Structures are given as structure tokens and as C-alpha cells.
Structure 1
Amino acid sequence: MTEEKKNLLKEAYQFGYFVGFRGHSEWAEWVRQKREELYQRAEELGIYELVKDAYRRGKELGKRDREEKLYESLVAKVEREEAKPRPKRAVSVVASARPEESSELEREYVEFLQSTKLTMPPELLDTLKHLEPPKMLRLGD
């Protein structure tokens, strides 16, 4: 295989990896143009299928690596959050007369009530008209 063919295969693979890793859409004009340019040069050299396969493999590997990096960053973020000291509870956990009688479910429920996460939507959303279904879709009104 000539040096020109090797370079074209390498370029197709690297471009596919770049597109996959960066999450670019193949429908973007610049991506389509670059891919078509690679394919056209490959046809001239008689290695169209090899270049197409190299691009596909590079793109798949790039996607996989991207997903792994995202997963690693999420895991690291969760680990940092878990390592932070938790604030003391404003309300003490209600315990029964004997601690062994309080069930795990009760403790989870109390912890849930003390969490700072939003559990209900804001009241403003109830007043907005665009959230109601259109009159023509209402049955029996």
C-alpha cells in the first residue's frame, strides 16, 4: 500500500474519531463536505470501502471514548459530593422509645422530608393557561 493510501486511511480514521468524540452531527455541512472529500479521494485511489470503514470505526471509537469520559466525570462529581461533609439536620430524627423498633423505612422517610430537593412544582405553573389541554381535546365538558 502506498504512503498516500496509508495517509488517507489515517486521516479518515482520525476525522471519524473527532466527529464521534466531539459529538458532531454528520448532517452538519462542514462534516459532510469533509467526509465527501475523503470519499472522493478514496475512490480515485481505489480504496473507497477501506476509507469508509476506517471513518466508521474511528467514529464508533470516538463515541465510546466520549461516553467513557462523560461517565468518569459524573462518577468523579458524585464522589466529590459524597466526600463533602453533610450539614446537620435542622429537625432531629424522631425515634421510637426503643431505637431497634424504628424501621429503615421510617428513617428513609424522615431523611426524605429533610432533604433540600424540590419535590413540588411552583404554584405559578398551576395558573398558566398554556399548560391546560386545548378545549377541543377535552371530553365531556
Structure 2
Amino acid sequence: MTFKSLSAAATLWLTPDQRFLAGRLWDVSQDPEPDIRAEDAKLAGLLVAGNSPERGPRDASVSVVEFADFQCPFCKNLNESLKHLPPDLAPRVRVVFKHLPLASHGWARLAAVMAACVGKRSDGACWEFADRLFEEQEWLSLDTFRSTVL
């Protein structure tokens, strides 16, 4: 079936049962975008490389890169879930933490800087500090953060 419009002609493929219409056919035995996949693999490697705090085995089959803001309630929930993975999954998952403080959160940037400094000592110290910030998140404000944490 060929469809012609004022600007261009296109070939559309209709399945024999006339349920599906496609603009092009793909050879499913071939990777349609090998260059993009190679670039994605390189970028994924960059996300887990470097000096970011990690939890779990380095050779885990799954790496989760957690971008978080210490003042974000959704980030708190995710952090809690990642800390309590089912026992059969935990040995196969590595969590890499990346700071992403939002400008709308008053003390998030300061917390990220402090966590990065604590992380210079050890990954364990950074995770302990991060867990504490998430636990105390509900009552911290910029004022109480400075007086309590600093």
C-alpha cells in the first residue's frame, strides 16, 4: 500500500490480518542501532566509574545509579527500598550514588557537599551519613540543618 500526501510519498506495510500498519520493515536478527548501543554502553560505564559511593559487589550483574536529593521525599523512599532489597537480589545488585540537589530545596546542596566530604573517608561513612539525612529529612530545615549537622 502506498500513501501519497502533498509533501511526500511513503510506503506503509499492512499485516495480512490488517491489524498492524508499519512505516518500515526491520530485520529482527540484526541490531538496528549498533552505534547507539555502543555509545550507551560507554555512557553507562561512565556513570558507575569514579569516586561515587557504592553499595554492593563491584562485579554485580545489575548496577543501579541512584540520582538523589537529600531533601526529596521520593528519593528518601527509593533509598529505603534499595537498602532493603530481598535477600536473593542483594548479592546481585550494586548501587552507585550520585548527588542531584534541586535548587528548590533549601539545604539539599549543602547536604550533598557535606556527604561528598564525608565520602572521602569511606563509602560506608557516606552511606551512613546519607541514611541519617534521609531519616531526619522531615524535621530538617536550613536553620536546623546548620545547627544540627554542622
TM-score range, shorter-chain basis? Answer: under 0.3
Rg larger in 1 or in 2?
A: 1
The structure with the largest strand share of the pair is 2
TM-score (norm 2): 0.22
Structure 1 or 2: more helix by fraction: 1
Q: TM-score, normalised by structure 1?
A: 0.23
